[in-house]
Structure 1
Amino acid sequence: IDQTKLKSIEQSENFRSLSNTNKIQNLQIFHCCSFDEIQFFINLFPQLESLQTEVFRKQIVQITRCLLSKMDHLFFLHITNIIKTYLQKLNFLIKSENLLDDYLIKFIDHDLY
């Protein structure tokens, strides 16, 4: 979905109403998400506790930073189809920016948990 379409949807009254009443806590996305799409989901599902998705590798640091800083309820993040070098990058990001106090990162079969 392009950014213009996402912004248009977010500005609608239905979107605002839904995001304010939405109780969805678990979300699995079966396609590769861009930063703009992740921001859209953050706004749509503010109570999200668990997220599984694939993300564009060039945006993984930006996406992770956004998720961890804006999603107060998120306690489980599963990024699929990723290479192991991102384990160190994300661990460094979390520590250097103090995004989390107590966390565990695992890399299993091309997935990051």
Structure 2
Amino acid sequence: MHNASLNNTLNRSVCLTQIKKLIIDKSHLNCDQIIEILNLVSNCNTLILHTILFDKHDSMSLKQNENSQLISNTNNMKNITIKHKCSLRKVKLLINLCSQLEHLTMEISYQSLISTVRFLLRKKKNINTIRPLFSLYFLKIGIIGTEQLKTLIESEKLLDDYKIKRIHDNCYLWW
């Protein structure tokens, strides 16, 4: 779907500034579509996505895209869920676009878990640029992922005061 047609379709259906929660079951959204959606629903505070398509050109275009900077400063996104495997690159995209993010839920591979948590917590601790973020919920990481998370946080002293709770195969981390 092209950005213009997405904008026209949504504008005819509903007043976009009134949307507070948006669930998109489309299995493949690229960066440009995510940026356009965030631009259209600036008052939305919860976004649930199946996955994000990301290619090597997206990070360069994101840095050069003035619209992405504007969106980061104006959107009110506080809760994001990515239901399918997320990577560090996708998390960086979301952090760059959603400066008010408080809760991030995602399915993540063991390979990406450590680097992603390290990135988020170091960024929070050292730069304080993602100040509002205070909880992460990992889907399907099991006991091993939960233990890896505890070890990382304690060995690198990424958080002083935090809680980790495992619920079935999921792990909830908040501080």
TM-score, with structure 2 as normaliser: 0.60
Q: Measure the CA separation in 2 of the matches of 1:99 and 1:4.
A: 31
Secondary structure, counterpart of 1:105 in structure 2:
strand
Cα deviation, residue 10, structure 1: 3.6
Pick aligned residue for 2:146 from 83, 87, 99: 87
> Structure 1 residue 65 and structure 2 residue 124: aligned?
no
Letter in 1 for 2:160: D
Query: Alpha carbons of 1:56 and 1:75: their partners in 2 closer, same or farther (altered >3 Å)?
Result: same
Question: Number of residue pairs matched?
Answer: 113
Aligned to 1:26: 79
Contact 1:50 1:76 in 2 (8 A): yes
Q: Measure the CA separation in 2 of the matches of 1:22 and 1:10.
A: 17
Structure 1: unaligned runs, 5 residues or longer: none
Letter in 2 for 1:100: L
Q: Deviations over 1:48-105 (max 9, x none)?
A: 1111111122111000111222232211110101121121211111112221111111
Aligned to 2:135: 76
Pick aligned residue for 1:97 from 145, 156, 163: 156
TM-score, with structure 1 as normaliser: 0.90
Greater length-normalized contact order (CA 8 Å, ≥ 6 residues apart): 1
Cα RMSD, aligned residues only: 1.4
